[in-house]
C-alpha cells in the first residue's frame, strides 16, 4: 500500500518532510522505472533509501516520534529531497531537539517601558508590538485610530477571522489571513505545546471555518511582507508598507511599523487621521477573550 495515503502529523518537522517528498517526482529524484502510482511524489521507503536510513527511522521522523536527528542524517535527507538552501535551513530549524524547541512562555507577555515610550512618541506612523501568538501588546495612538472600526484590538488573527470589519478594512483580506496563518504555523512548529497558541488555535478552529481550512493546509513558508492596501471608514484608501522587526531583547515579540510613502495621498490620510484621533478612540486589549 502506498504510504502517501496515510495521514501525516499536524505540523512541525513531520508535515514539512511529508510535503516536500510529495512534491518531488521519482524522475526528479533520479529514480527510474518507478511506474505509475496513485499519488504524485515519493514514498517514504524511497526517501529512506535515497537518504541511506532505514524505513522505520524515516517513518518515525515523519510521525514526530524521532527526536533530534543528527546533522549527518539531516544532510542526507536534504539531498534526497533535493531541498534548496531556504528549505534546508527550515529543515534544520524544525529538527532541533524537542526539549529545546518546546520551551515557550506560559506567563503573560509584557512590553518593556522604553519600547512603549518609543512607539507612543511616533505621532505620524502607526506602530505596535505583538507577542509570539500575534497578540497586540502595545499600540500607539495612530494605530488605535487606524483600527477603530474593529470591535477589539487584541490579536491579529482574531481581528482577521472573527471581526466582520476585516472584510472591508483590507482590500485583500484573503492575503492578510494567509500570511497571518502561515506566521502562526511557523511559530507553532517550533513550540507545539505552547499554551497560548493552543488556546488561540482552539478558539479560532471552533469559531471560523475559514481558519480551520487554512490551518489544516500543507506547511507553507511565511510570505514576505508587502504594501498593505486598506480602506479606512473615515479617511478612505491607504497604502502602507508593513515592516516587522524582531525585538532581540524579548524573543518572540515583534515591532510592527506601517509606513506611508512621504508626500503621498496615504501620508495625507494618516496625517488627517492623526488630527482626528483623540482619547475618545476605543482601545481594548484583552488577548484570548471573545470579541
| Strand, helix or coil for residue 223 | coil
Q: Is the pLDDT at 4 greater than 50, yes or no? A: no
Q: Of 86 and 104, which is predicted with more confidence?
A: 86
- 3-101 in CATH: which number? 1.10.260.40
Look at residue 138 in the predicted model and tell me its pLDDT.
96
Residue-wise pLDDT tens digits, 164-219? 999 999 999 999 999 899 888 888 877 766 888 888 988 888 889 898 888 877 66
User: Does the predicted model carry a pTM greater than 0.85?
Assistant: no
Look at residue 106 in the predicted model and tell me its pLDDT.
52
| Strand, helix or coil for residue 184 | helix
Query: With contact defined as beta carbons under 8 Å apart, do 228 and 170 qualify?
Result: yes
Rounded CA separation 24/4 (Å): 12
244 forms bridges with which residues in the sheet?
256
Residue-wise pLDDT tens digits, 280-290? 444 445 444 43
Cell numbers given for 287: 488577548
Q: Please state, as a whole number, how many other Cβ atoms lie within 10 Å of the Cβ of residue 103.
A: 12
Q: Which of 63-72, 88-97, 136-145, 255-264 has the lowest mean pLDDT?
A: 63-72
The CATH 1.10.260.40 domain(s) of the chain lie at 3-101
State the alpha helices, DSSP H only, in the chain: 12-23, 44-51, 55-62, 71-80, 85-94, 98-101, 113-120, 141-146, 156-162, 166-169, 173-190, 195-207, 209-215, 265-276
Q: Of 39 and 257, which is predicted with more confidence?
A: 257
Look at residue 5 in the predicted model and tell me its pLDDT.
36
The CATH 3.30.450.180 domain(s) of the chain lie at 113-276
CATH class, 113-276 region: alpha beta
Amino acid at each position: 500500500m502506498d504510504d502517501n495515503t496515510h495521514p501525516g502529523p499536524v505540523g512541525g518537522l513531520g508535515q514539512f518532510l511529508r510535503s516536500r517528498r510529495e512534491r518531488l517526482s521519482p524522475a526528479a529524484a533520479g529514480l527510474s522505472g518507478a511506474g505509475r502510482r496513485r499519488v504524485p511524489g515519493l514514498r517514504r521507503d524511497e526517501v529512506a533509501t535515497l537518504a541511506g536510513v532505514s524505513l522505520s527511522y524515516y517513518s518515525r521522523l515523519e510521525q514526530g516520534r524521532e527526536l533530534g536527528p543528527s546533522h549527518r542524517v539531516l544532510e542526507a535527507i536534504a539531498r534526497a529531497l533535493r531541498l534548496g538552501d531556504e528549505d534546508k535551513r527550515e529543515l534544520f530549524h524544525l529538527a532541533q531537539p524537542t526539549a529545546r524547541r518546546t520551551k515557550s512562555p506560559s506567563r503573560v507577555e509584557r512590553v518593556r517601558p522604553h519600547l512603549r515610550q518609543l512607539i507612543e512618541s511616533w505621532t505620524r506612523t502607526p506602530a505596535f508590538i505583538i507577542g509570539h501568538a500575534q497578540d497586540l501588546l502595545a499600540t500607539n495612538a495612530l494605530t488605535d485610530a487606524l483600527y477603530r472600526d474593529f470591535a477589539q484590538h487584541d490579536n491579529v488573527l482574531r481581528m482577521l477571522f472573527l471581526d466582520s470589519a476585516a472584510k472591508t478594512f483590507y482590500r485583500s483580506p484573503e492575503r492578510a489571513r494567509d500570511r497571518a496563518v502561515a506566521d502562526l504555523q511557523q511559530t507553532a512548529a517550533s513550540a507545539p505545546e505552547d499554551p497560548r497558541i493552543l488556546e488561540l488555535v482552539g478558539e479560532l478552529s471552533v469559531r471560523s471555518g475559514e481558519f480551520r481550512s487554512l490551518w489544516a493546509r500543507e506547511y507553507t513558508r511565511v510570505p514576505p511582507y508587502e504594501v498593505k492596501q486598506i480602506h479606512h471608514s473615515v479617511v478612505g484608501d491607504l497604502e502602507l508598507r508593513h515592516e516587522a522587526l524582531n525585538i532581540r531583547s524579548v524573543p518572540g515579540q515583534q515591532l510592527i511599523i506601517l509606513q506611508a510613502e512621504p508626500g503621498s495621498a496615504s501620508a495625507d490620510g494618516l496625517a488627517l487621521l492623526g488630527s482626528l484621533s483623540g482619547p475618545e478612540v476605543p482601545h481594548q486589549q484583552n488577548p484570548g477573550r471573545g470579541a
